[in-house]
Amino acid sequence: MSRLMDMGLDRLNSLLLEMSSISERAVAASIDAYSKGGKGDEVREMGERLRTLHKQVSELSMEVIARYQPVASDLRFLKSCLEISYGFFRYGRYALDIVEVLEMFGDLSKCDRTYVVETARKTQEMIRMSIDAFARRDVILARKIPTMDDVVDESYRANLSRMLHEKKGNLKCSLSATLILRYLERIADHATYIGESVDYIVTAVEPSV
């Protein structure tokens, strides 16, 4: 029975690593579409694949718990699978939201996109850190993520303040930037949650609310 449970845990780990790769590519594609003027058509397909994988992770996690009644580190991993899977799924969902902003607002080539792209690069670094922390069960790396989350949060707030005090400006540029920064801020939050889940898997210390 132990071997069968180990096979289930290995399968879950593989599913999550597949999700991590797809979600990272989805966000990168959405940012490329914004910065280079593309459409990001592949993001929708990746989002659907992530939805399917998230469902598989949820079902397999519940099956392993019900069949084998795991304890200690195995149970922590299974509990965390649901949070981590949801985080990777949300990366893809927010990537699609960014693409939908581009579809809604159309040509943004005349907008100054520098600030959003710089924030996106920080967010993408957080995604990579969350993936590496999970893959390596690296608590030290996981605990670095919240500091970067603060930077992304501040970028979002600073943009709101700038837009509110801007007497002249392109409304389309301002609104599209604000929406995309909001989605980036939410992606950064989920990177933080994944980092907290990794910490929990390794240390058994519940994330603080």
Quote the CA–CA distance of 79 and 64 in Å, as a whole number: 11
CATH number of the domain that residue 180 is part of: 1.20.58.220
Amino acid in the structure at residue 40: G
pLDDT of residue 138: 98
* Domain boundaries, position 13: 2-203
pLDDT of residue 60: 97
In a domain, 209, yes or no: no
> Which residues, in sequence order, are CB contacts of 76 under 8 Å at separation 6+?
200, 201, 204
* Each residue's pLDDT tens digit, 107-159: 999 999 999 999 999 999 999 999 999 999 999 999 999 999 999 999 889 88
Domain count, the chain: 1
User: DSSP secondary structure string, 32-93?
Assistant: HHHHH----HHHHHHHHHHHHHHHHHHHHHHHHHHHH---HHHHHHHHHHHHHHHHHHHHHH
37 vs 7 pLDDT, higher one: 7
Please, which pLDDT band fits residue 1 given cuts at 50, 70 and 90?
Answer: low
In a domain, 208, yes or no: no
DSSP code for 37:
-
206 vs 62 pLDDT, higher one: 62
In a domain, 147, yes or no: yes
